[in-house]
Amino acid sequence: MSPVLLIYLIFFISNLLIALFWFKQLKNKQTKADQDLTAEEKDILLWLSLNFRHGITTIADLVSQSLEKPGLSFQQKEKLNQALKESKKLLKTGRILEEKIDQQTD
């Protein structure tokens, strides 16, 4: 084997080893990022299912109860009805978001 060919072979093998090392490093970083994202998705789903849904449902119930009380002016009833509609929309969009996140993680 000629010395020039040997030098090229050593150069090629060393570059290949360096590329494999960097590929492994990038793969490890990707795996870590995927794990972090999965943990974040779980936290969001947990918050949506426990805190958000419960809070919005409680608000909607309280507004509904307030609407049943006599003596409210027309404007007060309008504002409470508007708040009730908005809380129901938030509850619906929260469920949609929860479903999307759940589908993406499967």
- For the whole prediction, is pTM greater than 0.85? no
* Euclidean distance between CA atoms 98 and 42, whole angstroms: 10
Question: For the segment 14-54, what is each residue's pLDDT rounded down to a tens digit?
Answer: 878 888 888 888 888 888 877 776 777 777 777 877 788 88
**Long-range own/partner contacts, residues 89-98 (CB < 8 A, 24 or more apart):** 90/56, 91/53, 91/56, 91/57, 91/60, 94/48, 94/52, 94/53, 94/56, 95/53, 97/48, 98/45, 98/48, 98/49
Domain extent listing, the chain: 3-105
Q: Tell me the per-residue pLDDT of 80-94, one tens digit each, with 9 for 90 and over.
A: 899 989 888 888 888
- Percent of the chain clearing pLDDT 70 (strictly above): 95
User: Can you give the pLDDT at residue 106?
Assistant: 64
| pLDDT computed for residue 105 by the predictor | 66
